[in-house]
Amino acid sequence: MNYPHPIIAREGWPFLAISIILALATTVWCAAWSIPLWIIALFVLQFFRDPPREIPQDADAVLSPADGRIVAVERTQDPYAQRDAIKVSVFMNVFNVHSNRSPVDGSVQRIQYFPGKFVNADLAKASLENERNAMLIKTADGQDITCVQVAGLIARRILCYVKEGDVVARGQRYGFIRFGSRVDVYLPLTATVKVAIGDKVSATSTILAILARH
């Protein structure tokens, strides 16, 4: 679901409204006591920011679905598409933008939700043990890209706005994870990865990999 760009993600509007109302009310009562509440309101504001991004025009590019830091680049098994794949994982801390965006153009073949634990999303075991939501996308030339939203240590809500059969566009906002998390992207073995562990990436504007033409 694409929505007109709100600057502050709509997922955060209730949280921001509540934090500002509490801070204002406390300011009227006692300005000194309101300082921690204003700090909380500022944190909520920065957490739910959702800045516009330039979309690279390379049709073969796989774009980062999230802001954060690369914590894994490895050949592994894609447990959602049952295939060998290259996994690239992006870890988001509480200071990153948490709006998730489609890495490629394509059609949504499958959505799978799995309940699970809430261990630190920076750990490798989070990919298979934590609460997660997997989206399998098929590109126009038939290549499969799996994008998995993974809850983190304090993340307690994974939001996904697309369903099976939907068509998504690169850079389209398709979901959100509240308060620290991870997104795993499973690529075909023929893809050329353009990032390395430790790299900082930005949703949509960073190219994670280039797909080989069929």
The set of catalytic residues is 181
Q: Which residue has the tokens 């590109």?
A: 139
Name which of 116, 133, 142 is nearest 65 in CA terms.
Answer: 133
DSSP 119-149: --TTSTTHHHHB-EEEEEEE-TTS-EEEEEE
What secondary structure letter does DSSP report for 54?
Answer: P
Q: Which residue has the tokens 């190219």?
A: 207
DSSP 194-207: ---TT-EE-TTTSE
Q: Using CB atoms within 10 Å of the CB of residue 5, give its burial: 0 to 12 exposed, 13 to 18 middle, 19+ buried.
A: exposed
Tell me the CA end-to-end span of the chain in Å, nearest whole number.
29
